[in-house]
Structure 1
């Protein structure tokens, strides 16, 4: 069994998609459609930067999705891939869940781009710059991360945002609480705590205004039924019913990204081969979660050709 998986924020870089666009009409059409849907030349920012413009949450989120879907469209158009014949599940890390839903046909490409633009803006606006922060805990498990979060909170928000893999858990919350968590990490048996260069405290209760905005947006642009089950971040379980999918996407804004558990659940369901489209982030995480699982990251035309030779 096989799952196609999609990266989240942090996988963007200037030049992303340039080689695909130069080599494939299918990729160029994806970038043009996203530009038109957003009413901005996002593809130029992806291609040329500047980096600070691409890193803006409202640009990074649709850009990462566009890159992933461009890779998929090249696989479909030029490689003859039929997703429903070559995959059993799809999943994505945070914003990558929208990419997964787009790939599975629950959202159109244009609607996915617009929803992610709204999501990026809402998440950025939810907390004034400087009031929130995030940190990565290296060598932490869920129990030690939870203990640290509770010790550091002191009446402020300090919550587990991402359970990425056995070596990395991410905390999110008020800046003071995250600073305290970094200082207390070693006392809780955690090897290292690193402040993350983010502009807002994602996936914690401080994001409630953004969750409310996404409830409105998804009410106006609801998902359809996906052609494949989508493993949801907040439940680490497959979802196929449109109303449930919309509700889970709203919960995801403030909820924990249960990526480690999602991968283990897909493995339990029989998945042996994971294919990451448009990044090299979740593939390596999968390798750390289960060394027996096979994970390929597909970004270039050479990657696409190699994958199609293998799976046909």
Structure 2
């Protein structure tokens, strides 16, 4: 495997959309100034790393991959704690409300970018209650089809879908999820129609696809790729504008959409803290995480899980949150999507 770096084809998605250049100041929580000796002494006890998804999920696997080397770097235990529910927002809210100075979280992008638009009752405000620390890993969604679909490439699929009207169906991991919103965006850009069928998770989506109970889905690579390579599913395209190294043979969807139509989205995970976390502590975490994510062993482990290792400054995560909040907010408004 070739290590991802600044020239890696997945990296540009972090740099392309500069929709809210002025949003950085609003998104990064105000710094609390600590004396230098206090910052140097942090952490003074075990660090709690809250994950709002169950054991075995992608965010959980990423958290446990990072936890051990981070503990070694900090000189204190890093304890992964799963607080599951409400599409990850229960875990994020637990971090937002933490007051012990040693609680951080890891989540997928949804709870940081779409949760409030999908459910105004979401109990935290990202800009007010959270402090960005670092992006951890990114991955495209893969447009996946059942073997019951006659098309073998993306242009053929789009032509077939247009001819079928609303007779096709697609699966997602729930209303408002990335897999749901990605398909709604594709429908808007191409004029295709497909009926939404929600499932509890991607394994169930894959089972329905292989059983030809549904026709299409935007899936994560770690679930879609093994089934496609064993001949049980088809891969039509990746959701990023640039190819993804792990699936070089799968073209970007944007190339089949025509001029003036942008389709450049990715799933990502990030580490964050409560707004009250002092800036020096957040910066130390960001620096250590970036260093960890550059080590060959950790990069390979993330690659094997279907992720490109990142590691960024807090400001880069802040920009990513602002950009994706604006993009998905527009999709949510146009489609009327709501979380359950």
TM over 0.5: no
Between Structure 1 and Structure 2, whose CA radius of gyration is higher?
2
TM-score (norm 1): 0.28
